[in-house]
Structure 1
Amino acid sequence: MLSGALRMSSTKRLKLIDIGANLTDAMFRGIYHGKQAHKADLTGVLDRAFDVGLEKIIVTGGNLEQSRQALDLARIDDRLYCTVGVHPTYCSLFTDPNNGCEGDPDRYQEELLVLATSTRAKVVAIGECGLDFERLQFCPKDVQLQYFEKQLILSKKTGLPLFLHCRNAFPEFMGILEKNKEMIVGGVVHSFDGTLEEALTAIDFGLYMGINGCSLKTEENLAVVKRLPLEKLMIETDAPWCDIRPSHTSYEYVRTQFSSKKKEKWEQGTSIKGRNEPRNIIQVLEVVSALHEKPSSQVAEQIYRNTCTLFNWPS
């Protein structure tokens, strides 16, 4: 039995890869809303992840500074990798006078390229990039459109696939990808929660779908994931976000539960209630397997092959 488990599935140890975890987030340093609630515990988080069978974790970069932090983190363990890019809600940083590049967007882009090519064994994708029209308070639509397209140049120059974000912007999102198809060597739409038609359009373009707790909230979400081909799926946690909660429709399919404590009562070796972490990838796998009515081992094997194919790892 794994440490901290209340109820474990009968699934044996599986080969798993978390394609997206925000491990540079302050929560893993014990900081919530700017206040220190407990000691940094990332080491324990990683130990628990590897204990459940995670072979690799891709640490997500959201802007130039976060991407640097993600690469620094990836260098500490052979099982950690990272992305380099700018999240749509951070795209205003390209011209921010305080962006470390004197507000020069071309210089900011060049710094991203330098970082992406500095350690090719560790940087496996360009991103997280894309469009997010649900949170325009963080970055205007026109700025997002401009710098999403600009980042596709990084994919062409590096030969790396894209780690993509799309929220309430699918027509514009696909429009930019179609317009720049020759620059793209592949990619995955992470945290997908759109319609079946949108998913199939993206798959027909050549993209994979990344599934996490936010992809599995509602009956409508589950109906979509059920109909997606396993050959085009990957799984992720998007930790510390997007956990599967009791209020989610998918919760009934979760077989593996882990004990957790409120952050104020943290102890060494414990998980934090409400803070997602990579070991919870097993729950995403259980839901996807249940929806497709296949054994977790079979689904895990297919998803593992998919992931290795996109990120150029031997399977």
Structure 2
Amino acid sequence: MIIWRRLFSEFTRMSDIRLTDIGANLTDPMFNGVYHGKQVHPGDLDAVLQRAFDTGVDKIIVTGGNLTDCQEALKLAKTNDRLYSTVGCHPTRCLEFEQTEGTTAEEYFQNLLSVCQAHARSKVIAIGECGLDYDRLHFCPKEIQKKYFEKQLELSAITGLPLFLHCRAAFGDFIDILKRNKDKINGGVVHSFDGSKDEAMAAIEFGLYIGLNGCSLKTENNLEVVKAIPADKILLETDAPWCEIRPTHASSKFVTTQFPPAKKKEKWESGCSVKSRNEPRNLLHVLEVVAGVKGMDVLQLAQQVFVNTCNLFKL
């Protein structure tokens, strides 16, 4: 492992890779060693972050999924100069607007706005994760999702912040809502994109970036879509602890950097990554895959994505 670290350190120093993970769920209990409500190993978020920073990840945007998540994401972001956060309510959790005890929908919205305004630009750099998810309507009905997706676009209008967007099996309604509210929007990215080429082109034509992670790169069809996306419209993410690139994915053949073997969570060891728990360090694998698919030099793509990320989030 010492030899690997030395060699990789030399590689990153010479190549000057500067990556931003635009979406990592670092408030997830897994990074505290908790799985399905059970403590399995000690929390190791500090080590997870250090591995990322040692691997060319310069900045990480911590995703907020509801009001509580956003408060925790901001609290975490304030502990490290390299961390930032988003503020919004995930489509599958939008019932919280109407079902949070002691709070009206408008009060819930105002609470989100307060978190935004407290540290807008300095730490809170995007509105989201918001959007539509028709794959999981058992969590939140379609009409509620649409209502509060549209409502959250007001956060972008008020704060001037770009959008961190979620879309699953809902692109028609998704783009219609965005077009209807174009004057409220200050740019954005469709994160974890796994849609069609036509959907990607429609999002780009509207002025959005496309966020790619392991879930965007599972199949050969996914890779064909990625091949068609202009490099100046691509952002990269892990969506950790989810969306890892697995050996069974079509993308795995483009992964060139091998990290030390991960340990099962039940056999956790200090300094080791956890098997099947994605982490921001693996953003390098996403970069390698996208570069391979597009036939680009890894450094060239990294530099372009760095510019794209700065342009959208004003980092």
TM category (shorter chain) comes to over 0.9
Percent of residue pairs bearing the same amino acid type: 58
- TM-score of the pair, normalised by structure 1: 0.96
Structure 1 unaligned blocks of 5 or more: none
Q: Deviations over 1:276-296 (max 9, x none)?
A: 000000000000000111110
Specify which structure has the higher proportion of helix: 2
After superposing on structure 2, the runs of 4+ consecutive aligned residues of structure 1 that deviate more than 4 Å are 1-5, 7-11
**Alpha-carbon distance in 2 for matches of 1:253, 1:247:** 12
Aligned Cα root-mean-square deviation (Å)? 1.7
1:83–1:127 CA contact under 8 A, matched in 2: yes
State whether residues 174 and 202 of structure 1, in contact with CA within 8 Å, keep that contact through their aligned partners in structure 2: yes
Q: TM-score, normalised by structure 2?
A: 0.96
Contact 1:13/1:52, CA 8 A, preserved across alignment: no
- Specify the alignment match of 2:105 in structure 1: 105
**Alpha-carbon offset, residue 44 of structure 1:** 0.3
Alignment of 1:16 with 2:19, yes or no, is yes
Corresponding position of 1:279: 281
User: 3-state SS of the aligned residue for 1:134?
Assistant: helix
In 2: Cα distance, 1:13 partner to 1:275 partner: 27
Aligned to 1:262: 264
CA distance in 1, matches of 2:290, 2:276: 21
Question: Given the alignment, which residue of 70, 74, 90 partners 1:71?
Answer: 74
Equivalent position of 2:201 in the other structure? 200
> Residue 179 of structure 2 aligns with which residue?
178
Residues 305 and 149 of structure 1, relative CA distance in 2, 3 Å threshold = same
Q: Is 2:65 the partner of 1:62?
A: yes
Deviation (angstroms), 1:97: 3.6
- The 2-side partners of 1:281 and 1:312 are apart by 20
Which residue in 2 is equivalent to 1:125? 126
Does residue 39 of structure 2 align to residue 36 of structure 1? yes
Residues in 2 aligned to 1:39 and 1:186: alpha-carbon distance in whole angstroms: 39
Deviations 1:238-285 (A, max 9, x none): 000000001100000001122200000101111000000000000000
**Aligned position for 1:304:** 306
Q: How many residues align?
A: 310
| Cα distance between partner residues in 1 of 2:100 and 2:311 | 39
User: What residue ranges of structure 2 are gaps of 5+ in the alignment?
Assistant: none
CA offset at residue 189 of structure 1?
0.2
* 1:119, distance to aligned residue in structure 2 (A): 1.0
Query: Alpha-carbon deviations, 1:292-314, whole Å to 9, x = none?
Result: 1111000000000000000012x
Offset at residue 4 of structure 1 (A): 7.0
1:226 maps to: 227
The whole-number CA distance in structure 2 between the counterparts of 1:71 and 1:3 is 36
- Which whole-Å CA distance do the structure 2 matches of 1:69 and 1:289 have between them? 34
Q: Following the alignment from structure 2 to structure 1, what is the Cα–Cα distance between the partners of residues 40 and 243?
A: 21
Amino acid at match of 2:71: R
Q: Equivalent residue for 2:50?
A: 47
Question: What is the aligned partner in structure 2 of residue 141 from structure 1?
Answer: 142
Cα distance in 2 for partners of 1:3, 1:305 equals: 32
1:234 and 1:3 mapped to 2: Cα distance?
A: 31
Determine the C-alpha separation between the residues in 2 that align with 1:2 and 1:72.
Answer: 33
